[in-house]
Structure 1
């Protein structure tokens, strides 16, 4: 009680003083008239009517404060009016500030070169900017509050919205406008709000398509003249009347022609993988048997590491395209052989765990510096260009591995240290694992 009285404002003490004086005057009048109770009752009644009148004036002002001025009341009620007016002015200030920020945000999002859609916890549309409305054909009065997967029904987009994979976003072609749209979700760590960014990547897709077509066409056109050149070089090499001084140049030309044939073959295979073209269906593939054959091929080479171990910890089959999985394994093993010295070793491992199926190729070769690892799967990227060319590599092997793995919902993990060696691991999802008994029934 003491704390309450110590926090009274001057107007509060003024009201208490007035009430006290009124009660003292009423008590004196009651004593003189001999009716103390009546005098006190009349005083309390008048005081209550005054307070009720002040409450009614305050209530009226609160309901009409936009058009009515604050009532002129003294005492505690005047202090209440002052406090409410101060809170109302602060509220108006913050509302004006938030409104200004919202208008600025809308102006900025309108100027964005990308579309933006704000989604709720159930992927319902809360807001979108002009470009998103134009590209996705959204209308505010019609589509706000509707789940976006009910409006954008492309399977790749729906899968990305549901799982978040692939992590680089979903790429969708709008058949009506022939526009390519890339979708990326900006996640804030909570499921309450998500920002969906939409980009028009039609030009990039067209350029990429032109590049792929050019590479594929050029590779096809180069095969015939290269075959002719290789044929004449083989004939020259077998000609006993050839001047001995030409033996070394002809041998080098044959080596370079073979390297060109390898590059063209890899370019055609990479173009096929990038185009999404499936030349054959998916079937159970015996990865353990494939690795055993590839090891035999390595051991049959004139030069190979002294120790090539094969660790088969599972006999399960893998659902996929056999030629593409063979390309993955052979490219990884070929790289390990090229960059491992004769006294080194290579380990091929195939195993299964709760995460899925895994294929790893570990070597004790020259290793790779950490800054090169993120770019290893780029076309023609070479850690040591001089060494790679001398070994006859095309620079496309890991790019082929990357795209082939993507077509099998798999990922590539690279661990390496200079001077120690490298480990390339392919991770396949459990959905592609087939028990050997079930695989035998499927192929029968």
Structure 2
């Protein structure tokens, strides 16, 4: 193109000189120059018109025939156009492969733009979510997936944990939603059919629940006979053995009770309905129970309650979760230690914490504390009478209330267990009343 540009300038200069010379031959040099330049301009206008028509056709036809600089220009543009078509064909192939591969996925994939409108989705989204390409493209996602639990999850913006809900198309299909941010405010939503996994989990839960339920009757009989025998005047070695049997029977009953509660909590990840919970009276009752459990161990209790806010939820579940934290603090805090119970609300939601000044927990244990039957010290836990299910129950209760548990602990200084609830679960006391 650089050579063609110089050639055009040289041709223009030669044309001007020839026109000037021809005009001078007839005694009108400037008129000859003007006529020559006019003829040259008409020629270039014709070539430009040919170029414009050829570019507008976009049918892959050969460029117009021309000589000199215009011919070089046409040939260079033809090569550029060919390279552009090859690149476009390559990109179309990539898009086609992506669409084919995404259509083959069994998971629903949906792209949502930064205005929360549907931009693109694959074929499985039609089947699992009921989206229709002809009518739903560009519509707000909230207009099509209206489950309040999904709306709350989507608007929260924190997608570390997936959400499980029934399919809006078929209630027998269980979906797991996972959302990721990408681009400038766009979101990628993946909905996975986990019906089979849910059924397997339900089978396991039913087995645990049924086995626990069946254990209650024989344990009740055993405890009844043990209490009867212990009321008698037994020899000391036999009485000691009977007392140990009674302690283990009580521990087994506590274990069965916790297993049944945990199975019931696992049956659903969300509470069925919400009721105002009067946090002040709930914490006051737990404080009294903790003092009774502490007995003569000399524990000091500090209670700090924000009396302006209450919670929405299931009272019996929250009482179970809070009491597990409080009773654990009583069991594992050394004599004469201090235990602090706090409830407060701020812009991030509601918070209930239990703080002790006990021996603390090593950092390597903290991520696993909410696992079932996980024990830091087997002998210490057994001596305290714990079942190993308390923190697992706390975790599941909080999940059902859209909350989460945080654990802060320093070995030798103590621990703080905090239950966090979202702002929409916190209500002013006036509203609760």
- Give the TM-score of the pair, scaled to structure 2: 0.88
Does residue 182 of structure 1 match 2:182? no
Aligned length: 430
Match of 1:101 among 88, 94, 109: 94
Does residue 17 of structure 1 match 2:42? no
CA RMSD in angstroms comes to 2.8
Partner of 2:310 in structure 1? 318
Query: How do 1:279-318 and structure 2 match up within 5 A?
Result: 282-285=275-278, 287-301=279-293, 306-318=298-310
Tell me how far 1:165 sits from its aligned partner.
Answer: 6.0
Which ranges in structure 2 are unaligned for 5 or more consecutive residues?
none
Match of 1:134 among 127, 131, 147: 127
- Give the TM-score of the pair, scaled to structure 1: 0.86
Distance 1:199 1:279 in 2: 23
Partner of 2:197 in structure 1? 204
Query: In structure 2, do the counterparts of structure 1 residues 420 and 296 end up closer, same or farther at CA, with 3 Å as the change threshold?
Result: same
In structure 2, the residue corresponding to 1:370 is in which secondary structure?
coil
Partner of 1:255 in structure 2? 247
In structure 2, the residue corresponding to 1:185 is in which secondary structure?
strand
Partner of 1:157 in structure 2? 150
Partner of 1:51 in structure 2? 44
Distance 2:426 2:20 in 1: 98
Distance 2:423 2:21 in 1: 96
Distance 1:227 1:370 in 2: 40
Query: In structure 2, do the counterparts of structure 1 residues 387 and 362 end up closer, same or farther at CA, with 3 Å as the change threshold?
Result: same
For 1:35-85, what per-residue CA distance to the aligned partner results, in whole angstroms no more than 9, with x for missing partners? 223322221122112112211221222123524212233344234324422
Tell me how far 1:274 sits from its aligned partner.
Answer: 3.1
In structure 2, the residue corresponding to 1:371 is in which secondary structure?
coil
Distance 1:139 1:295 in 2: 56
Which ranges in structure 1 are unaligned for 5 or more consecutive residues?
1-7
After TM superposition, which residue ranges in structure 1, 4 or more long, deviate above 6 angstroms? Answer: 277-281
Distance 1:409 1:253 in 2: 41
Query: How do 1:58-97 and structure 2 match up within 5 A?
Result: 58-97=51-90
Contact 2:339–2:357 (8 Å) recurs in 1? yes
Query: In structure 2, do the counterparts of structure 1 residues 72 and 385 end up closer, same or farther at CA, with 3 Å as the change threshold?
Result: farther
Partner of 2:357 in structure 1? 364
Query: In structure 2, do the counterparts of structure 1 residues 359 and 304 end up closer, same or farther at CA, with 3 Å as the change threshold?
Result: farther
Tell me how far 1:226 sits from its aligned partner.
Answer: 0.8
Higher mean C-alpha displacement, 226-235 vs 343-352 = 343-352
Contact 1:61–1:70 (8 Å) recurs in 2? yes
Distance 2:401 2:45 in 1: 79
Partner of 2:381 in structure 1? 388
Partner of 2:337 in structure 1? 344
In structure 1, the residue corresponding to 2:350 is in which secondary structure?
strand
Contact 1:414–1:422 (8 Å) recurs in 2? yes
Distance 1:106 1:147 in 2: 22
Tell me how far 1:355 sits from its aligned partner.
Answer: 3.3
Contact 2:302–2:338 (8 Å) recurs in 1? no
Query: In structure 2, do the counterparts of structure 1 residues 133 and 433 end up closer, same or farther at CA, with 3 Å as the change threshold?
Result: closer
For 1:167-217, what per-residue CA distance to the aligned partner results, in whole angstroms no more than 9, with x for missing partners? 5233222373611111222211522x3221110110111122222222222
Partner of 1:3 in structure 2? none
Query: In structure 2, do the counterparts of structure 1 residues 138 and 413 end up closer, same or farther at CA, with 3 Å as the change threshold?
Result: same
In structure 2, the residue corresponding to 1:422 is in which secondary structure?
strand
Tell me how far 1:239 sits from its aligned partner.
Answer: 1.4
In structure 2, the residue corresponding to 1:127 is in which secondary structure?
strand
